[in-house]
Structure 1
Amino acid sequence: MPLPTLSTFSQPVAFLGQVLLAGVGLVRGKVRLSARDLARVSTDTSARALPIITVVNVLVGSILAFVGAVQLVRFGAGIYVADLVGIAVAREMAAVITAVVMCGRTGAAFAAELATMQANEEIDAYEVLGIDPVPYLVLPRVMSLLLLLPLLYIYACLAGLLGGMVVGGGMLQLAPQAYLDRTAIVLSWNHLGLGLVKCIAFGALIGIVGCYCGLHAKRNAAGVGQATTQAVVASIVGVIVLDSLFAILANALGV
Structure 2
Amino acid sequence: MLAVGLAGLLAVYVFIAYLMAPLLWDRFSDHHPSLKDNPRLTETGDGHPGGPLNVALIGSEEQVREIFAAAKWYDAEALGLKSDLKIAVGTILKRPDPDAPVSKLYLFGRPEDLAFEQPVDGNPRQRNHVRFWKAEKPSSSGRTIWIGAASYDERVGLSHTTGQVTHHIAPDVDKERDRLFEDLKATSELSESYEVPGFQTILRGRNGGGDPWYTDGALRVGIIAQD
Structure that is richer in helix per residue: 1
Does the pair score TM above 0.5? no
- What TM-score do you get using the length of structure 1 for normalisation? 0.28
Structure that is richer in strand per residue: 2
